[in-house]
Chain A
Amino acid sequence: MTGVVVVGAGECGTRAAFALREEGYAGPVTLVGAEPGLPYERPPLSKSGELVPLCTPERLADAGITLVAGVPVTALDVRAHRVALADGRVLGYDRLLLATGARARPLPGAHVLRSRADAEALRARLRPGARVGVVGGGFIGLEVAAAAAGLGCAVTVVEAAPRLMARAVPARLAERMARRHADAGVDVRCGAGPVRVQPGTPSRIVPADGEAVEVDVVVAGIGSAPETALAQAAGIAVDDGVAVDTGLATSAPDVLAAGDCCAFPHPLYDDRRIRLESWRAAQEQGAHAARALLGAREPYAAVPWFWSDQHDLSLQVAGLTTAATEQVVRVRPDGAELWFGLEAGRLVAAAGLGVGTAVARDVRVAELLIARRVAPDPAVLADPSAPLKPLLRAPARASG
């Protein structure tokens, strides 16, 4: 009995390991992580900086999960059903889950932020008065900018595109967030084009378009790439992420993939293959993969969902904003704003921006509407006095 081996001890792999037990699996479960120490939550690294472990050694022991931490997996032999570890060990498996995550795209001369070690190295540099240059105006870059400004640093954000968070956030909400950064003293420079860094004391951030910026610390938040090397070397199909089917199965027998590393066809978006870099998707796919490892066959169809905290504002996004062809905006009396994206009448995406968790409930209802393929009346969506929850009683459309 060789059991289940989970490669990757982040949010997804750890959730999968515990979910195997919750689903009643009694065989050996081995969770192998390249980073040392206990599994931890990544979202706080770019926000409060707090270290939040995902579990205690006692919980792992109680669940009978063997954690192998700080040991990368170096090879996967899908025919022999075994993995080789960097310390020379070889583990056999009945079923394998790849939850290898993603890595930050590097920029020479700049810090990146993905791991606890990255966060600790960066935090040590964020002293009051330090000049901090953030390359990239996406979620990670802007969260770091807000955290650094809160610590008393002088922060400049340099974004290649004409606006912030262009990949996943509607322009209206991104503009409001840009104003909030400016109010907090962050110097936001969009439309800078490609950027290079001249390391030194001080370092210089040199954009293709615009003035160079002299700073003490450079942080790059320019996206991430899926960790697919192990799968690729094992001959598993890769397509901007480890390619999986709707049940998270890879092209190799008894090997599944989940979380940031995988690209899966989404039934809500014409089975288009998508890859998510999302805390919640990592969790949900980990739990889903655990059931699939034990033989369940239902498709993974959860609505993509992201959040970002910057200053006192929180942004939440449900669905794929890029799938929308029409948009509706609701401005609430408390100043919170909601954006709804429709395609052929059907709600396919929603986003909200407000103080604290003010938009959470509305975005959550929108997420349920998206999952049920509801085509809500745009006039209701736009009306701040109309509650959204009754829309859930509308009949769901047939899937397909």
Chain B
Amino acid sequence: MPQWIAACAADDVDPEDVVPVDHDGHAYAVYRSPDDTYFATDGHCTHERELLCDGLVMGTTIECPKHNGRFDYTSGAALGAPVLVDVRTYPTKVEDGTVYVEVP
């Protein structure tokens, strides 16, 4: 059953940045876009399982910290070699200064 989990405080993420969130042994990455919208993806790159939260956010792109594979974190779309597989995204909402992520 999908459920909403409290992932982090909205202020924990700077604009155009990312933080790691762990829930039930699964790593997620929570992003705040330059226009203050929140997004969530799987925490690991689809290429060689590096942690995306150590990567650099530029605009709406997250870049893998090891091999520079890039994803659009708003859609999960892989943006070219070396990443070939999209990263999974999850719905988010913000309530009372807390970011919630809907996990399966």
> A280 within 8 Å of B by Cβ?
yes
* Contacting pair A356 B54 (CB below 8 A): yes
A18–B80 alpha-carbon span in the complex (Å):
11
Q: Could you tell me the distance in whole angstroms from the C-beta of B14 to the nearest C-beta in chain A? A: 8
Interface members, chain A 115-130 (any B CB < 8 Å): none
* Contacting pair A356 B82 (CB below 8 A): no
Given A280-B68, A307-B66, the answer on whether A360 and B55 have CB atoms closer than 8 Å is yes
* Contacting pair B66 A357 (CB below 8 A): yes
Q: Could you tell me the distance in whole angstroms from the C-beta of B13 to the nearest C-beta in chain A? A: 14
A364 interface neighbour in B16, B55, B80, B82, Cβ under 8 Å: B55
Interface members, chain A 280-299 (any B CB < 8 Å): 280, 283, 287
Q: How many A-B residue pairs have CB under 8 A?
A: 39
* Contacting pair B55 A361 (CB below 8 A): yes
* Contacting pair A364 B56 (CB below 8 A): yes
> B9 within 8 Å of A by Cβ?
no
Q: Could you tell me the distance in whole angstroms from the C-beta of A315 to the nearest C-beta in chain B? A: 12
Q: Mark A76-108, 1 if CB is under 8 A from B, else 0.
A: 000000000000000000000000000000000
> A358 within 8 Å of B by Cβ?
yes
Chain A residues contacting B67 (CB-CB under 8 Å) are 279-280
> A131 within 8 Å of B by Cβ?
no
Interface members, chain A 9-24 (any B CB < 8 Å): 15, 18-19, 22
* Contacting pair A357 B81 (CB below 8 A): no
A139–B55 alpha-carbon span in the complex (Å):
23
Please give me the residue from chain B that is nearest to A365 by CB atom: B56
A15–B67 alpha-carbon span in the complex (Å):
14
* Contacting pair B82 A283 (CB below 8 A): yes
Q: Could you tell me the distance in whole angstroms from the C-beta of A316 to the nearest C-beta in chain B? A: 9
* Contacting pair B54 A360 (CB below 8 A): yes
* Contacting pair B81 A283 (CB below 8 A): yes
* Contacting pair B81 A18 (CB below 8 A): yes
Number of interface residues of B (CB under 8 A): 15
Chain B residues contacting A307 (CB-CB under 8 Å) are 66
B81 interface neighbour in A15, A314, A361, A389, Cβ under 8 Å: A15
Chain A residues contacting B54 (CB-CB under 8 Å) are 356-358, 360-361
> B50 within 8 Å of A by Cβ?
yes
- B50, B56, B63, B82 — most chain A CB neighbours (10 Å): B56
Chain A residues contacting B65 (CB-CB under 8 Å) are 357, 360-361, 364
Q: Could you tell me the distance in whole angstroms from the C-beta of A347 to the nearest C-beta in chain B? A: 16
A361 interface neighbour in B56, B80, B82, Cβ under 8 Å: B56
Please give me the residue from chain A that is nearest to B65 by CB atom: A360
Interface members, chain A 246-287 (any B CB < 8 Å): 279-280, 283, 287
- A18, A279, A358, A389 — most chain B CB neighbours (10 Å): A389
Chain A residues contacting B80 (CB-CB under 8 Å) are 22
Q: Mark B75-86, 1 if CB is under 8 A from A, else 0.
A: 000001110000
Chain B residues contacting A18 (CB-CB under 8 Å) are 81
Q: Could you tell me the distance in whole angstroms from the C-beta of A175 to the nearest C-beta in chain B? A: 24
- With A356-B54, A357-B54, A364-B55 known, 16 other A-B pairs at CB within 8 A are A18-B81, A52-B48, A280-B68, A283-B81, A283-B82, A307-B66, A356-B51, A357-B50, A357-B51, A357-B66, A358-B54, A360-B55, A360-B56, A361-B54, A361-B55, A364-B56
CB-based closest 5 A-B pairs: A360-B65, A357-B65, A357-B54, A364-B56, A361-B56
Q: Can you give 19 contacting A-B residue pairs, CB < 8 Å?
A: A15-B81, A18-B81, A280-B67, A280-B68, A283-B81, A283-B82, A287-B81, A307-B66, A356-B54, A357-B51, A357-B55, A358-B54, A360-B54, A360-B56, A360-B66, A361-B54, A361-B56, A364-B56, A364-B63
